[in-house]
Amino acid sequence: MAEQNTNAKNETAAASAGERRPIILGIDLGTTNSLVAVSGDSGDAQNADAMAPRVLEGEGEMSGPMLPSVVRYGVRGEPGAYEAIVEAVGKPARDAAVLHPTRTVASVKRLMGRSATDAERDAPYLSYRVVAGPNETARAFIPSEGDEREGVVVSPQEVSAEILRALKARAEAALDLDVREAVVTVPAYFDDAQRQATRDAGRLAGLDVRRIVNEPTAAALAYGIGLRNREPETIAVFDLGGGTFDVSILQVIPAGHDADASDDGDTAFFQVLSTAGDTHLGGDDVDRMIVQLVLDDVAKKLQQTVEFPAGTRQALRDLAETTKIRLSTDELVTIELDLGGEAGVYRRSLTREELEEMMTPWVERAIARCGEALRDAKLTPAQIDRVVMVGGSTRIPLVRRRVGEFFGAEPYTALDPDLVVALGAAEQAAIIAGTNRSALLMDVIPLSLGIETMGGAVAKLIVRNSTVPARATEMFSTSVDGQTSIKINVLQGEREMVEHCRSLGEFTLSGIPPMPAGIPQLEVEFLVDQNGVLSVSAVEKRSGKRAAIQVVPHHGLSREEVDRIERDSFEHAREDMTRHRVVDLVVNAKLDLKWIGERLDAVGDELETDYRRDLEERIERLRGFVRAAEDDWRSVDPNEFHAAKEELDRGSMRLHEVSIARSLRESE
């Protein structure tokens, strides 16, 4: 009966989507967290969100894109006939791990396809026992609650299958159909036994693993590397997660460049030249540094070592992780935690500079592995064309800075480093399923790119159909006196106002010395490279303050969505241009009124009465246009508005001459 219901569900989905190709999931089966993504999952080509690669999120207590790779087991039955039962998967299992350490299996990826002897190095880092199973394979031992010497053994494949099963269920709920195929990613250094173990885990979860893809290859695919390359490239993938670090050096052979090298006529060939890493290096180390800092402070305060209960230890770990994340964007964080008992409430401030000093040896360990990988590949940093950042710990500013310094290239950070491998797996899945949107891969920029200006208008720096690579620079300034920071909103679209365009990201240029409006010189540069990655940088020329962001402007758009946006721009062109013109007139008129008003207050007593009266009338007329336009931009004639501004500009020439003359007299 269940099979009949499943078939009916598939038939209904197929009927609603017409001739719909099979959905193949892209899965990042990670050591710390796992994700599932999909690309081209809709028969409705107008639905851009459905056609583009996207990571699927859970609901309720499993909300968010990332599923912690953690499973908690219980044991039931009698001695000699124990059976393992799954009590929790994902976040609930992770959050309660400190309460059930020996029955909570995390980081099982370290055991996949390995012998118990091989796993001995990892055992001290795991809260559960690792024992030898059939053929000396590494297994997790789950003790019974009554007697921890007795229990049941589970294989890494079974644990991984529970994680994959949860991801499969998440995808089926989001897509409202049964899914039976997947592309799963693994580290580049996984051997045949580890890859086969991953396939076995998929089979246990009810998934046909169509292809095993190296994680660095998936990360490259997410950025379109290998899909739009014309010449071979050498790339480095720097993957720093919660508990592990890998660096891989890949050579990318474009599709059609070497027919013998590619296994698919329309996809590139990725050759792994070398790998290096550390299976016990990750963001968790930074969390432990912060925890140790707190413990040392408390021990010094109480003059004794304190053993905290499990709940407090978990809260301290969570606080450490939150502090680390906040210091990636903030310069200072105040740590506050109720430790209970005689320890009381703990408080202290931690600056990014202090944390970076603590982290420096940790980061240098990763950089040293990069050097090893390059030596193994017989390459120098200068021979690396692209650097791709993967893993949540690559958000740390010190990590990004050191990687850029080592390779001498700005790393790719446009895509969320936690999601990039899953997105790349979805791209590979779409290629296999035949739903890859290759026409959207950019030889030209499909939609214009710009920034938000005062009044909600859009200043376009790179116009649509510009060939890739493309670069544009433009100068801007402030419209408010004493402004010390400028928020830059990067936009994509063909309409003239922000509300009708797509925001790609925001960043803030801060630390600008206070200056009068219009004096700061803000240079904004847009650079789209051959892989379609947009880098936006801003520098205030007087102070030298800089800020930047990376985005992928085509991400999340289908070709049909691009066409619709272009049609809308044509339909609303006259109205949009008029509104943009009025908005610009308001901004510039306000600056004129400000400057002329200040000069009039300063030297008005030196002006002829008739000239001053005429000037004040022109000022009031222009103010009337500004007030009317701010109430309703449609209520003003832009030509009359512009004429009023020009009349005031011309009429104020005498005022400026008098003002300059007074300044010269006062300076003598």
Q: What is the pLDDT of residues 569-625, one digit of tens each?
A: 888 889 989 999 999 899 889 888 988 888 888 887 888 888 888 888 999 999 999
What is the residue-averaged pLDDT of the chain?
86
Class of domain 442-571: mainly beta
Distance in angstroms (rounded) separating the CA atoms of residues 651 and 639: 18
Strand partners, 270: 252
Q: Peptide bond preceding 469: is omega within 30 degrees of 0, i.e. cis?
A: yes
Homologous superfamily (CATH) of 283-355 is: ATPase, substrate binding domain, subdomain 4 (3.90.640.10)
Catalytic residue from among 41, 91, 109, 584:
109
User: DSSP alpha helices (H): ranges in 228-282?
Assistant: none
pLDDT at position 51 over 60: no
Q: Residue holding tokens 């390995």? A: 114
Lowest mean pLDDT among 164-173, 376-385, 512-521: 512-521
376's CB contacts (< 8 A; 6+ apart) are 249, 273, 274, 276
Question: DSSP letter string over 399-447?
Answer: HHHHHHHHHTSPPB-SS-TTTHHHHHHHHHHHHHHT---GGGS-SB-SS
Q: Which tops the pLDDT comparison, 454 or 197?
A: 197
Mean pLDDT check: name the lowest of 24-28, 167-171, 329-333, 371-375. 329-333
Structure tokens, 668 = 């003598």
What does the pLDDT average to over 530-540? 87
What average pLDDT does this structure show over 41-53? 49
Catalytic residue among 239, 284, 385, 410: 239
| Rounded Cα distance, 247 and 328, in Å | 22
10 Å Cβ neighbour count for 605? 8
Q: Give 370-393 pLDDT, tens digit per residue.
A: 999 999 999 999 999 999 999 999
Q: Tell me which residue has tokens 């976040």.
A: 91
* Angle between helices 609-631 and 573-603 in degrees, nearest 10: 150
Structural class in CATH, domain 574-667: mainly alpha
Given this model, what pLDDT does residue 7 score? 40
Question: Cα–chain-centroid distance for residue 249?
Answer: 22
239 is catalytic: yes
Query: CB of 50 within 8 A of CB of 206?
Result: no
Structural domain spans, the chain: 22-110+155-221+420-434, 283-355, 442-571, 574-667
Four-residue CA torsion sign, 576, 578, 581, 585: negative
Q: How many CA atoms lie within 13 A of 624 on its CB side?
A: 10
Q: Which fold has domain 22-110+155-221+420-434?
A: Nucleotidyltransferase; domain 5 (3.30.420)
Single-letter code of the amino acid located at 320:
A
More confident residue, 472 or 662: 472
Three-class SS of residue 46?
Answer: coil
Catalytic option among 41, 162, 215, 584? 215
pLDDT in tens, 249-286: 999 887 665 544 444 445 678 889 999 999 889 999 99
d(CA 526, CA 450): 8
Judged by DSSP in three states, 584 sits in helix
Q: Which residue has the higher pLDDT, 564 or 187?
A: 187
What phi and psi values does residue 317 have, to the nearest 5 degrees?
-65, -45
Q: Which is the catalytic residue, given 28, 158, 540, 576?
A: 28
Q: Is 359 in contact with 289 (CB distance < 8 Å)?
A: yes
Kindly calculate the radius of gyration of the chain based on its CA atoms and give it in whole angstroms.
Answer: 30
CA angle at 512 for the pair 510 and 518, rounded to the nearest 5°: 120
Contact at 8 Å (CB) between 96 and 88? yes
Decide if pLDDT at 441 tops 50.
Answer: no
The reply to whether 28 belongs to the active site is yes
Determine whether 330 is an active site residue. no
User: Rounded to whole angstroms, how far apart are CA atoms 377 and 365?
Assistant: 19
Count the neighbouring beta carbons within 10 Å of the beta carbon of residue 176: 10
**Catalytic residue list contains 61:** no
